[in-house]
Amino acid sequence: MYPFPQTIAPAVRTHIDAQTAFLNDMSKSLFSSFQQMCDLNIQLVQTMLEETTLASKQVLSADRQTELLSAATSRTHPATEKLRAYQQHIARLAADSQVEMARVTEHHVQNTTRTARALADEVARDATEQTERGLRAQQETARQFTDPFMRPGNGAAQPQAASGGTSQAQPAPPSPQQGGQQQRATTH
């Protein structure tokens, strides 16, 4: 009734387990990278807020316009350095994430490939068996429907061969009941 069997084949189970382990480790790696990126962004925001607060204090405490300009320009250099450090951290984090994902993939690819091959072999073997069963059933059905009067043992008349233009009627073989009666009659 259902296109899939109710029980799960061992090859399917092992392949699903291998795929699940691979995806779990990959998601752990990605989540760790994402968490590090979020931590780095939070740290950048905190640092930039501190720099902005210091620059605001200097600007607000300036008495002259020249002090105001010097305070603003003195804070741009540290902010630029912090942005450059942030970019370096992002690049390092991206490289580390890529290395980690490659390590996870390398660790799981052999097992996943092996289970995929086993699953493909089992599916191919099962498909071959199902095809052979189907062909045998079709051949049997076709053989039964080719000439329904040729079934042995049902008492149907056998086809007669024509010889020399005239057909001779051949007696039908005795049925099992008639054969038993003839034997009793001859033995008594």
**What is the tally of structural domains in the chain?**
1
CA distance 142 to 48: 84
Q: Give ∠ CA 110-115-120 in degrees, rounded to 5.
A: 125
Question: Does 174 reside within a domain?
Answer: no
Question: Does 160 reside within a domain?
Answer: no
Containing domain of residue 74, as a range? Answer: 10-147
Which one, of 144, 104, 80, lies nearest residue 18 by Cα?
104
User: For 10-31, what is each residue's pLDDT tens digit?
Assistant: 888 888 899 999 999 999 999 9
Average pLDDT, the chain: 78
CA distance 132 to 125: 11
Confidence of residue 6 (pLDDT cuts 50, 70, 90): low
User: For 117-168, what is each residue's pLDDT tens digit?
Assistant: 988 888 888 889 999 999 999 888 888 777 666 655 555 545 544 444 444 4
Question: Does 33 reside within a domain?
Answer: yes
Q: Which letter does DSSP use for residue 8 in this model?
A: P
pLDDT at 7 over 90: no
